[in-house]
Structure 1
Amino acid sequence: MSSTKPAYNTALTEWNGPLGLPDFGAFADGDFAAAFEAALASDLVDIDAIINQHEVPTIDNTLKALQLSGKDLDRVSAIFWLRAGAHTNETIQALERVIAPRMSRHSSSIMMNPLLFARIDSLYEQRDLLGLDPESDRVLDKTWKGFVRSGARLDEQGKARLADINEKLASLGAQFGQNVQKDEADWALFLNDEAELAGLPDFVRDAMRGAAEERSRPDAWAVTLSRSIIEPFLTFSDNRALREKTFRAWAARGQNGGETDNTGIVAEMVDLRAEKARLLGYHSFAAYKLDDTMAKTPKAVMELLEPVWDKAKARAAEEESDLQRLITAEGRNHDVEPWDWRYYAEKVRNERFAFDEAELKPYLQLEKIIEACFDVATRLFGITFEERKGIPTWHPDVRVWEVFNADGSKRGIFLGDYFNRQSKRSGAWMSALQSQHKLDGKHTPIIYNVMNFAKPPKGEVALLSLDGARTLFHEFGHALHGLLSDVTWPAVSGTSVSRDFVELPSQLYEHWLTVPAILEKYAIHYKTGEVMPKALLEKVLAANTFNAGFNTVEFTSSALVDMAFHADGTPPADPIKFEADTLKQLEMPDAIIMRHRTPHFTHVFSGDGYSAGYYSYMWSEVLDADAFKAFEETGDVFNGDVAAKLKKYIYSAGGSRDPEDLYKAFRGRMPTPDAMIEKRGL
């Protein structure tokens, strides 16, 4: 009896590793291409089976079958895109440039298939007669709209052009992200002279030493463009010339000429997005994107951003005066420049609140902040975490936890990948290897967080800034959205919600970091083991809105430029000039730059995720500020009744209902921006 060897490595699609994970040791980088080929073909077989059946369309034989199609493609994609972001190399990047447009073309062939859409359309037309439960009704509605928004109603010429546009956008987005990653990975400033380290606390020096060692320069200290190193360097370095040099490199990512320059990519993407919107009947790409969000229209977004922008500029002007005062007092005669702001702001904070980041950081151990994240989840939602060591993953730094419900039953798997490395793109994010659903049995969620904290030298403790600790809480809030999901349909699982609602669970979770009961338990000095002194804790809380003008100008300018690129039906030919002209119109302070300048604005141009949607963080912030007040109003930030409603309507509900309905079910009403403006200290 003969056996035929599989055409690809099935370890990528049949996950036989511990705890239901993929066996990461059973496949190599070169195995992905063949696995994608097989999985793409298998997905089309599934689609053909739906189309070619003789039975009239039903929820089971059409909608459910569509939801469950492409399992192999889902699995190989989940592993591949994890690797592309968190641990890439030339082999992965080369395939990414090929597979991103290929996947787009594949999706277009399905979403524009007239026979498949006819079956979905038939169900949609008779949906009121099908007796659907609310979740199934919402999935049908989302599916039908997804087909329409993907061009299912266009004529053949329109479909062909839209498929071309989508394919090109996917290719450009992949290249954009790779260019930024390369600029960040390739740039480092090596310092050999102790005098060049003036002003830098030990934790910054240790991080720089670790970065130099990773780059085979154990004799030096390295400033890199990782936010976990560049920001503290700009905050503490006494050497103004070095601050300027490193800041300019940081600001110029994606705009250095040559192969990694993203200027032309942005121009082409904005133009293609505008054409796509017109094809689908929208005035602008922003109108197209926002039609499927809570905000609905560009006008609603601007009504949120513009008042905040005015308040932020006014506050930033006051802050800049404070910084200029210190510069003058030092006998210097220069204006505040962007490479000066963090340095002098830290001095003002020390002056005003009698503490600085260097005093606080020894109390924020990565390990303890992870424990704090877990403790808050246990107090609010009853879930617990048990670490499982020795399980192979995509990198030796990755850690694995099993997650359990209060009754001891398994809830899911959580993986954390916390340290910066050259093979990882910048930023922090949450994603899923497997999403929760119950459509064909119980599918437990496998959720991961990726961070970019500076890795300490071997044997040393990893310490976080307060912003770093907030980032960890933020991404873990997203992780809980995936872990606590309790829906039937995959299409509405976990974070499958509108973009301006998805940040609510993450931003809300940040609030618990600075709850005194949490800091008193987990803010432990890494050397002495002492709890953060109450006086320091009070200073930290008092300084919560310090530098609010700077922080809000950084963010809001990015959101406004994003909207400007996409809200006009006629896109600009020169994106760098357009950025500068837009900021001039907005009267952007000279001493501050956008948090994400256009050439490295990966949220918006490395894929489609936050395009015309960066405002979403502030939209969700309106919700999260009000949602935390629901706890504060009871006098107990861990109130069991409020937590139960929060779990039911926010963290577990996914996209099973309209987000506005979910928020009202939790809070009883929709909020105004007042609580958010108060929270920001504006």
Structure 2
Amino acid sequence: MNPLLEKFKTPFETAPFHLIKNEHYLPAVQAAINEAKKEIEKIKKVSDPNFENTVEALENSESGLSVISSIFFNLNAAETNEEIQKLAREISPLLSAHSNDVLLDEQLFEKVKWVYDKKDNLTLEIEQQTLLDKMYKSFIRNGALLDERGKKQLREIDRSLSQLGLKFGENVLNETNKYELVIEDEADLKGLPESAKEAAAQLAEEKGKKGKWVFTLAFPSYVPFMTYAENRNLRKELFIAYNSKGCKGDDLDNKEIIKEILKLKDERAKLLGYKNYAEFILEERMAGSGQKVLDFLYNLLQKAKPKAISEMAELEAFAKKLDRIDALKKWDISYYAEKLKKEKYEVDDELLKPYFELNNTIEGVFVTAKKLYGMEFIPNADIPVYHPEVTAYEVRDQDQKHIAVFYADFFPRPGKRNGAWMTSYRGQKKTNKGEQRPHISIVCNFSRPTKSKPSLLTFNEVTTLFHEFGHALHGMLAEGRYESLSGTNVYWDFVELPSQIFENWCYEKECLDLFAKHHETGEKIPLDLIEKLKKAANFHQGYQTVRQISFGLLDMGYHTSNPAEIDEIAEFEKKVMRDTELLEPVEGTLMSSAFSHIFQGGYAAGYYSYKWAEVLDADAFELFLEKGIFDPETALAFKNHILSTGGKEHPEVLYQRFRGRAPKPDALLKRAGLLH
């Protein structure tokens, strides 16, 4: 019996992780593909196509496959192993081929086109119109108008791309897991806080190296070392290890994979009649074109770069005065920036961490959601989880009605990729039988508790938690009719608005008072510390902005260039990032070879979205500041017009409905201290 193919007999029909074995995945995917094919054959036999029997039927044809593949690929990111990675290499091409089978099926396309051509005579609601338009465009954008030779070529491209993306990610994860900085002399730990030393000793013990200290490339290990370790040579070693993932010329090297991915994406775009891959992607984004993205990024760069240059000059002068270093290097930035921030604002992470114990902070996120949107999070031990460290919650609204299941997974493991993300195991939709509510998860890599201390978060980790939870709210509060338009299924440069706006609450006393209390004394975070935190919020904003712009420009550079002219990845990266380099590049390091967002995730030609959405989030949060950060009317408007509506209308329409006008960039520039 395959639990993935049975009705899930679990609370809220959640994934039965306790029953699923690796051998269940492949047959389940194959069976679900066959089931979807049967549904599609029924649609093709329809003699009188209409919206319900064609468009809605096609929208619902893969519901079983969607759940199975979500479970599998979510675990491949959060709890993978060699067996799952091997399965992914088998399953990805199957899904890619199935998707091509659907979108390149002439008979099926004819049925959809029949309905689309008559859309002006149909009485469709706005959400139905959006679904029809999106579905029709999806066929066109995936080769429905190509001849047989073109369709065959497209299939081959998509199959190869699915494999290459997986291989890229596996290489990055294996590089991350492979490296260890083993320290035997305690003098080499000088400057590090006790919590970081204890965590490194604990890790060493787990790895059979008792009496030593181990640091890895996982964020909770890497970041404290780069921020506090006085040993400059070891900082350099760790920096180079972190920034040379996938570019050492060995079997984990990603440079040739990047070239192949770029070549195939360019071929795909040109096959479909687009100038380049960026133009193909941006047709379905708020920005609309590559030129508009470049104009946006360079306009921001013009405002941020002078400030970034002066920030780096100040930091170098400070470092020279403090330690008489010859010149500021990239492995010095975090270390001296933390010292300078402490000197200027009398605030640092070690001062703040005692007030951000993980469980208190999670509770703070929940209380914030309750005050804004009436949500309640109830731990439910009966909901199966995929790892003992994962907690599952039932989510209810203010009337105690069930609205979602929420999974939280917070600590690094060898089977989990670095970073933080929100994902979904099941989307929200309305059916004839009622409503399917969503199952949402956030996955992070925070500092683990040690023998003597609970998990204490840096302020950066606090904002990360709020950020991912903002995405989760977008998923949990969804109220759409169709899963493909529900929750976070919105334009990519709009999807970061709910996550980035939620970070703003972290800086407000009214919110911090709800949860920021000293883990030993219970004392609330003092007002003067909040004031210092707010003042320090703009510290190195010029540098951070230029850094984000550099990633956006690198992404756009790759996806607007002719791949045939990219001989050396390192040379190309250097050329594209020249305008944003504030310090001398470090030989042997490369951003591109571990840039998973664009070569494995969905951010190809979309990395600019973070800055784009910052304009929206700063502008939107200004309204909360004017009315009160927990103002019920403003919260309800944000929920109704942004969080619950998903992608049923164009984001510009939704945003203007909430704000009463188009977004202005002034709020972002003011917040970042870039408005002169």
Q: C-alpha separation between the residues in 2 aligned to 1:25 and 1:632?
A: 45
1:477 aligns with 2:470: yes
Q: Which amino acid aligns with 1:614?
A: Y
SS in 2 for 1:457: coil
One of 588, 599, 604 as aligned partner of 2:598 = 604
Deviates more, 1:621-630 or 1:69-78: 69-78
| Residue correspondence of structure 1 range 4-15 to structure 2 within 5 A | 9-11=2-4, 14-15=7-8
1:86 aligns with 2:59: no
One of 496, 499, 504 as aligned partner of 1:511 = 504
Contact 2:3 2:16 (C-alpha < 8 Å) held by counterparts: no
1:551 aligns with 2:544: yes
- CA deviations 1:353-411 (Å, max 9, x no partner) are 11211111111111111111111111111111111236431100000111111111111
Q: C-alpha separation between the residues in 2 aligned to 1:613 and 1:596?
A: 20
Contact 1:286 1:566 (C-alpha < 8 Å) held by counterparts: yes
Contact 1:292 1:498 (C-alpha < 8 Å) held by counterparts: yes
Q: C-alpha separation between the residues in 2 aligned to 1:108 and 1:420?
A: 36
- CA deviations 1:524-573 (Å, max 9, x no partner) are 11122211122111111111110112211221101101001111245523
Residue 630 of structure 1 deviates from its aligned partner by: 1.0
SS in 2 for 1:26: coil
Residue 73 of structure 1 deviates from its aligned partner by: 1.2
TM-align CA RMSD: 1.7
Identity score, percent = 38
Contact 1:435 1:445 (C-alpha < 8 Å) held by counterparts: yes
Residue 35 of structure 1 deviates from its aligned partner by: 1.4
Q: C-alpha separation between the residues in 1 aligned to 2:535 and 2:221?
A: 26
Residue 102 of structure 1 deviates from its aligned partner by: 2.1
Q: C-alpha separation between the residues in 2 aligned to 1:662 and 1:132?
A: 19
Residue 165 of structure 1 corresponds to 157
Q: C-alpha separation between the residues in 2 aligned to 1:219 and 1:51?
A: 68
| Residue correspondence of structure 1 range 443-522 to structure 2 within 5 A | 443-458=436-451, 460-522=453-515
1:100 aligns with 2:92: yes
Residue 137 of structure 2 corresponds to 145
1:374 aligns with 2:366: yes
Residue 230 of structure 2 corresponds to 238
Change (3 A) 1:118 1:43: same
Q: Which amino acid aligns with 1:281?
A: G
Change (3 A) 1:62 1:543: same
- CA deviations 1:179-237 (Å, max 9, x no partner) are 10111111111222211110001222233234334434343322111122212210100
Q: C-alpha separation between the residues in 2 aligned to 1:593 and 1:46?
A: 55
Residue 591 of structure 1 deviates from its aligned partner by: 5.2
SS in 2 for 1:430: strand
1:523 aligns with 2:516: yes
Q: C-alpha separation between the residues in 1 aligned to 2:139 and 2:357?
A: 47
Change (3 A) 1:214 1:423: farther
Q: C-alpha separation between the residues in 1 aligned to 2:191 and 2:5?
A: 49
Deviates more, 1:134-143 or 1:221-230: 221-230
Q: C-alpha separation between the residues in 2 aligned to 1:154 and 1:214?
A: 56
Q: C-alpha separation between the residues in 1 aligned to 2:447 and 2:281?
A: 36
Q: C-alpha separation between the residues in 1 aligned to 2:377 and 2:550?
A: 39
Residue 573 of structure 1 corresponds to 567
Contact 2:550 2:580 (C-alpha < 8 Å) held by counterparts: no
Change (3 A) 1:283 1:94: same
Q: C-alpha separation between the residues in 1 aligned to 2:371 and 2:425?
A: 26
Residue 268 of structure 2 corresponds to 276
Residue 619 of structure 1 corresponds to 612
Change (3 A) 1:112 1:372: same
1:385 aligns with 2:388: no
One of 208, 211, 215 as aligned partner of 1:223 = 215
Change (3 A) 1:501 1:492: same
Residue 335 of structure 1 corresponds to 327
Q: C-alpha separation between the residues in 2 aligned to 1:436 and 1:425?
A: 26
Residue 393 of structure 2 corresponds to 401
Q: C-alpha separation between the residues in 1 aligned to 2:290 and 2:451?
A: 50
* TM superposition score normalised by structure 2: 0.97
Change (3 A) 1:138 1:195: same
Q: C-alpha separation between the residues in 2 aligned to 1:679 and 1:188?
A: 39
Residue 460 of structure 1 deviates from its aligned partner by: 3.1
Q: C-alpha separation between the residues in 2 aligned to 1:23 and 1:231?
A: 36
SS in 1 for 2:409: strand
Residue 3 of structure 1 corresponds to none
Q: C-alpha separation between the residues in 1 aligned to 2:139 and 2:586?
A: 39
Deviates more, 1:292-301 or 1:453-462: 453-462
- CA deviations 1:49-104 (Å, max 9, x no partner) are 21123x21111111111111123211211110111000000100001112112211
Q: Which amino acid aligns with 2:283?
A: D
1:294 aligns with 2:286: yes
Contact 1:12 1:79 (C-alpha < 8 Å) held by counterparts: no
Deviates more, 1:586-595 or 1:218-227: 586-595
One of 237, 244, 247 as aligned partner of 1:252 = 244
Change (3 A) 1:446 1:333: closer
Contact 1:437 1:486 (C-alpha < 8 Å) held by counterparts: yes
* TM superposition score normalised by structure 1: 0.96
Q: C-alpha separation between the residues in 1 aligned to 2:325 and 2:494?
A: 46
Q: Which amino acid aligns with 2:331?
A: W
Residue 114 of structure 1 corresponds to 106
Q: C-alpha separation between the residues in 2 aligned to 1:629 and 1:331?
A: 42
| Residue correspondence of structure 1 range 282-361 to structure 2 within 5 A | 282-361=274-353
Q: C-alpha separation between the residues in 1 aligned to 2:302 and 2:5?
A: 51
Give the 4+ runs in structure 1 shifted more than 6 A. Answer: 592-596
Q: C-alpha separation between the residues in 2 aligned to 1:412 and 1:583?
A: 43
1:673 aligns with 2:665: yes
Deviates more, 1:521-530 or 1:402-411: 521-530
- CA deviations 1:322-368 (Å, max 9, x no partner) are 22222222352421100001100111101101121111111111111
SS in 2 for 1:502: coil
Deviates more, 1:14-23 or 1:122-131: 14-23
Contact 1:561 1:582 (C-alpha < 8 Å) held by counterparts: yes
Q: C-alpha separation between the residues in 2 aligned to 1:170 and 1:380?
A: 40
One of 47, 57, 62 as aligned partner of 2:54 = 62
Deviates more, 1:623-632 or 1:316-325: 316-325
Q: C-alpha separation between the residues in 1 aligned to 2:616 and 2:586?
A: 27
SS in 2 for 1:259: coil
Deviates more, 1:459-468 or 1:91-100: 459-468
SS in 1 for 2:233: helix
Q: Which amino acid aligns with 2:406?
A: F
One of 398, 409, 419 as aligned partner of 1:417 = 409
Residue 596 of structure 1 deviates from its aligned partner by: 8.4
Contact 1:206 1:456 (C-alpha < 8 Å) held by counterparts: no
Residue 268 of structure 1 deviates from its aligned partner by: 0.7
Residue 505 of structure 1 deviates from its aligned partner by: 0.5
Change (3 A) 1:564 1:25: same
SS in 2 for 1:334: coil
Contact 2:192 2:229 (C-alpha < 8 Å) held by counterparts: yes
Residue 592 of structure 1 deviates from its aligned partner by: 7.4
Q: Which amino acid aligns with 2:568?
A: D
Q: C-alpha separation between the residues in 1 aligned to 2:317 and 2:182?
A: 32
Residue 487 of structure 1 deviates from its aligned partner by: 0.8
Residue 148 of structure 2 corresponds to 156
Residue 577 of structure 2 corresponds to 583
- CA deviations 1:655-674 (Å, max 9, x no partner) are 01111100011011111222
One of 191, 204, 207 as aligned partner of 1:212 = 204
Contact 1:447 1:483 (C-alpha < 8 Å) held by counterparts: yes
